[in-house]
Structures are given as structure tokens and as C-alpha cells.
């Protein structure tokens, strides 16, 4: 979202102004984070995902992450997010029948962890609905007064410290599930505390930990980077925490690529995000870092070929083993896709 609150949308004619040759087309990739959704004027359904997959780069598997798609419109409120898992599992099977395997091989759904111990039947329902694909829960922590518009209702402040939330969180390890953490950089210390309190629960930080550049953080990039880097290094001391390298098109970072006359090149995107990506790899090691597309959100800033070319440019100096981890193996291990 831009600071004005206007939600960036996918502008295909604008994206078509930038064409790039696919770099390293044979490199195996797991897209560790994408969505499927149906919003007015901003649809991204199975056919859209398949079209992107066919545009280049060797994507072997993908991980779907909750976004409020296809929730049930009736029945118990707590179980309505299970509709998303059910629909995504069906789309994964449809894609396989159409000849594309590996789509939504892992599914991350939503469960309201503030239900505490009462979350157990919701987790069981997700696991049953996913038909062997369910891997974890995302209950967004992201909250900032700088945002004027939200895709979903913002969570309460300091939700990660709420004792009832933590009782629900405690059940994840019992079910062998991970936690996807979507939050903004000022909230990273809250996640450090949560990760230390639950060392047996695998946690993966979404979108580089959400560095912000709007509202009170606008034009303070150096200060934000220093604060973010300190928190990232502290978080990396928690061995149960991994991080996703992506969110390059998120306008909350203050980089309004979607407003430029031309879409950014992969070189421009890599230059903008290199300090953040290199900090994460240095802190966590490639074995705890994974690239993500965050499509269709990041598609408001760049096309699929440009996005993955950006990732490959960012990993150009890595060893073969490090590249394998960054693009494939870390996600395979974390989401148990092996």
C-alpha cells in the first residue's frame, strides 16, 4: 500500500514495458510465499499463477500463504478460514490434473490464535481440508498507524505478548505446524520474545521483517535500516527462526516502484534491496533464508521474470550450496516438502 492508502494494483500493460531475458533458467526454485485471491480489480487466480509460472524460471513447487481467500460465509466463525485451505487444496489438485505439479505443495492457513486452547479443532479441520498439504498458520501481527488502508482488519497492539494468543500458539508444535510471522520492523523485538518463549516452534519471518518507509519513517531510510538490522541480528540468535527474502514490491517500504513511468529492472530492484538481503543472509545463513515471490502483491511493482531475475542477481556471489538453499532447499526443509 502507498502512504496515501491507495492499494497498488497489477497493471499488465505497464509491466509489459519491461522485458528481460531469464537468468539461470535451469536453477530449481521453490516459491516460498504466494497468494491466490479474488479482489475487485486485483484478481490473481489459478490461471494467473500458471501463466506466470510458464513465463520463465524453473519453479518446481510453491507455498500458498493465507490472504483471506474463499473463507466460508457461514458456520462457526473460527472455522471459516478453513474454507481457504479447502479451496487451495482443490486448486492444487486441479493444477496437477492440468499437468502442472507442485502448485501449493505447502499450504499456510489462518487460525485465530486468540482462541487459546479452543484453537485445537480449527487446526484439525485445516489439516483434514488440506489433504496432506497443510504446514502452518499465519496470524498477522503487522500493525502500524502509518497505514491508511488494510487488506484485512489490523491485529491488536502487541498481540505476540497476549497470554491467550500464546496459549493458542503453544498448540502449533503439538500439531507439527510452523508459524509465518508478518509484522513490521518496529515489532521485531516482540517476535524475538515470542521465539525465545517457544523454541520448539518453527517460525519464518515474512518479507524481510517488514522494513517501513512511510508515515513517520518516510525519508529516514538510514535510521530505519540501522534499527531493522539490529533487530534482525538479534532475531537470528533464535535457532527456530527462518526468514523470507522478498516483499520487494511492497510500497510500505517507501519505494513506490509502481508509480514510476517504467517498471524497475531486476538490476534496479537488486540495488535497492541488496543491503537488506545481504544482512539477512549474513545473520541467518543461507540455510535459514528462502526467496519468495509474494505475488500478486509484488506484481504491482514488477513482472514474474523480473522478480526472479532480481533474486538471482542478489545471489550471484553465493556458492552453489548457498544458492540451492536460498532458492530451494531451505523452503523444502522448513515446509517439509522433501
| Rounded Cα gap, residues 44 and 293, in angstroms | 13
pLDDT tens by residue, 54-99 = 999 999 999 999 999 999 999 999 999 999 999 999 999 999 999 9
- Boundaries of every domain in the chain: 12-17+27-334
Task: Write down the mean pLDDT value for the chain.
Answer: 95
Q: How far apart are the first and last CA of the chain?
A: 35
Examine the pLDDT at 151 and tell me if it is beyond 80.
Answer: no
| Rounded Cα gap, residues 336 and 68, in angstroms | 23
Percent of the chain with pLDDT over 90: 91
pLDDT tens by residue, 234-292 = 999 999 999 999 999 998 999 989 889 999 999 999 999 999 999 999 999 999 999 99
pLDDT at 335: 98
pLDDT tens by residue, 162-204 = 999 999 999 999 999 999 999 999 999 999 999 999 999 999 9
pLDDT at 150: 56
Question: What length is written for the chain?
Answer: 338
Q: Which residue has the cell 490464535?
A: 113
Q: With contact defined as beta carbons under 8 Å apart, do 241 and 195 qualify?
A: yes
pTM of the entire structure? Answer: 0.96
Q: Phi then psi for 242, rounded to 5 degrees?
A: -115, 175
pLDDT at 5: 41
- Chain-centroid distance, C-alpha 258: 19
Strand order in the sheet with 178-181: 28-34, 58-65, 106-109, 134-138, 178-181, 203-205, 241-245, 289-291
pLDDT at 4: 36
Most distant CA pair in the chain, distance: 52
pLDDT tens by residue, 240-254 = 999 999 999 998 999
pLDDT tens by residue, 206-221 = 999 999 999 999 999 9
* pLDDT tier for residue 144 given thresholds of 50, 70 and 90: confident
Percent of the chain with pLDDT over 70: 96
Number of neighbouring beta carbons within 10 Å of residue 283: 17
Architecture of domain 12-17+27-334: Alpha-Beta Barrel (3.20)
Q: 133-157 b/e with 16+ CB inside 10 Å = b?
A: bbbbbbbbbbbbebbeeebeeebee
Examine the pLDDT at 152 and tell me if it is beyond 70.
Answer: no
Q: With contact defined as beta carbons under 8 Å apart, do 188 and 232 qualify?
A: yes
All three cell numbers of 29, joined, read 526454485
Number of H helices, E strands in the chain: 11, 10
Amino acid at each position: 500500500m502507498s502512504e496515501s492508502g491507495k492499494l497498488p494494483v497489477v497493471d499488465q500493460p505497464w509491466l509489459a514495458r519491461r522485458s528481460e531475458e531469464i537468468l539461470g533458467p535451469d536453477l530449481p526454485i521453490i516459491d516460498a510465499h504466494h497468494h491466490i485471491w479474488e479482489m475487485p480489480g486485483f484478481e490473481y487466480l489459478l490461471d494467473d499463477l500458471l501463466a506466470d509460472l510458464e513465463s520463465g524460471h524453473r519453479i518446481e513447487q510453491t507455498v500458498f500463504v493465507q490472504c483471506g481467500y474463499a473463507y466460508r460465509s457461514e458456520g462457526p466463525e473460527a472455522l471459516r478460514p478453513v474454507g481457504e485451505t479447502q479451496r487451495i487444496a482443490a486448486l492444487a489438485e486441479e493444477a496437477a490434473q492440468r499437468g502442472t505439479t507442485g502448485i501449493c505443495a505447502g499450504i499456510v492457513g489462518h487460525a485465530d490464535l486468540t482462541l487459546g486452547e479452543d484453537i485445537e479443532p480449527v487446526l484439525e479441520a485445516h489439516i483434514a481440508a488440506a489433504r496432506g498439504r497443510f504446514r502452518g498458520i499465519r496470524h498477522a501481527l503487522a500493525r502500524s498507524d502509518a497505514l491508511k488502508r488494510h487488506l484485512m482488519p489490523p491485529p491488536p497492539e502487541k498481540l505476540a505478548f497476549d497470554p491467550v494468543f500464546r496459549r493458542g500458539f503453544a498448540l502449533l508444535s503439538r500439531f507439527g505446524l510452523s508459524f509465518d510471522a508478518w509484522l513490521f520492523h518496529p515489532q521485531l523485538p516482540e517476535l524475538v520474545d515470542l521465539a525465545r518463549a517457544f523454541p520448539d516452534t518453527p517460525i519464518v519471518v515474512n518479507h524481510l521483517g517488514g522494513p517501513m518507509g512511510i508515515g513517520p519513517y518516510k525519508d529516514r531510510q538510514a535510521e530505519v535500516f540501522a534499527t531493522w538490522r539490529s533487530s534482525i541480528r538479534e532475531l537470528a540468535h533464535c535457532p527456530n527462526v527462518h526468514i523470507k527474502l522478498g516483499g520487494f514490491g511492497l510500497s510500505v517500504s517507501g519505494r513506490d516502484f509502481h508509480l514510476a513511468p517504467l517498471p524497475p529492472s531486476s538490476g534496479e530492484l537488486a540495488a535497492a534491496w541488496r543491503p537488506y538481503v545481504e544482512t539477512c543472509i549474513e545473520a541467518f545463513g543461507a540455510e535459514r533464508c528462502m526467496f519468495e515471490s509474494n505475488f500478486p502483491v509484488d506484481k504491482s511493482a514488477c513482472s514474474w521474470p523480473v522478480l526472479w531475475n532480481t533474486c538471482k542477481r542478489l545471489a550471484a556471489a553465493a556458492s552453489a550450496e548457498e544458492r540451492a538453499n536460498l532458492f530451494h532447499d531451505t523452503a523444502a526443509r522448513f515446509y517439509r516438502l522433501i
